Structure 1
Amino acid sequence: MTDASCPLPAPYLMPCQTDEGGELVMRVIPMPADANPNGDIFGGWIMAQVDLAGAVLPIRVSRGRVTTVAVNQFIFKQPVSIGDLLSFYARVTRVGNTSVTVHVDVFAERNPAEPHVVKVTEASLTYVAIDAQGRPRPVQPG
């Protein structure tokens, strides 16, 4: 991943964009309360974070409220540990009349003493633009 336009100085390992065009939309560090009895982070906690990160671009594209209507794909590639710095990258893959589909990639920055980055999760989600009454509305062109 490279991004010359992102002014993050060393020692940042993660850029503002992925090579596939994903935009950095969120960063978070999982805490002990987010772990399961095995010491790994609950998959459901990761799914909730992906849903939050995934909504960022659809909110921008639709210029208003959105709701999640589908999780099209969700792949856990590696376990997530307490203290990993998770970076969420999203890219719009489809804009419909009322819906926006996004792909989210999640990377973990691990071991601060000898840092390395691994892709831990990827997902595809679809959001629908909604009005004040919660009914679908047309996506406003940007």
Structure 2
Amino acid sequence: MDPSPNAAPPLLRTLTLPSEANLNGGVFGGWIMAELDKAAGLLGMRRAQGACATVAVENLRFLAALKVGEEFSVYGRVESVGRSSMRLKLDGFAGSPAGGERRPVVEALFVSVALDAEGRSRPIPEASA
């Protein structure tokens, strides 16, 4: 997914800080994955109309280094919906906090399950028109 100016806003947008640096001066991959999980949680909750949890990451691919001081934006879409689970496609982009061009740095496919009040899986409601 390459977000255009007319695309939906990002699920998540944050600034990378020195505390997220790895030994090579880039951003630690575990931090990136945590941000993706937050974005998946937001997207999943919207589609499931309530609580949900990540149960698997089927694919996570780092495309380029994310640097300290860059803005990190995550875009996503629901790829498919089953009875109680859904596959969520996430794409992360890096760019200058001042604006301008963004570049892809990560892509992932998360699997999320809708949860009831007791933490058990529940059916996902039909999509509203």
TM over 0.5: yes
Report deviation, 1:95: 0.5
2:32 counterpart letter in structure 1: I
TM-score (norm 2): 0.89
Asked if structure 2 preserves the Cα contact closer than 8 Å seen for 1:109 and 1:118, the reply is: yes
Q: How does 1:1-142 map to 2 (within 5 A)?
A: 1-4=3-6, 16-17=7-8, 24-110=10-96, 112=98, 115-142=100-127
Aligned residues: 125
Name structure 2 gaps, 5 residues minimum: none
Q: Which runs of 4+ in 1 moved over 2 A?
A: 1-4
TM-score (norm 1): 0.81
Asked if structure 2 preserves the Cα contact closer than 8 Å seen for 1:92 and 1:103, the reply is: yes
**RMSD of the TM alignment (CA)?**
1.7
Asked if structure 2 preserves the Cα contact closer than 8 Å seen for 1:61 and 1:141, the reply is: no
Asked if structure 1 preserves the Cα contact closer than 8 Å seen for 2:15 and 2:97, the reply is: no
Match of 1:9 in 2: none
Q: Helix, strand or coil: the match of 1:81? A: coil
Residue 111 and residue 69 in structure 1: after superposition, are their counterparts in 2 closer, same or farther (change >3 A)?
closer
Name structure 1 gaps, 5 residues minimum: 5-15, 18-22
Asked if structure 2 preserves the Cα contact closer than 8 Å seen for 1:31 and 1:83, the reply is: yes
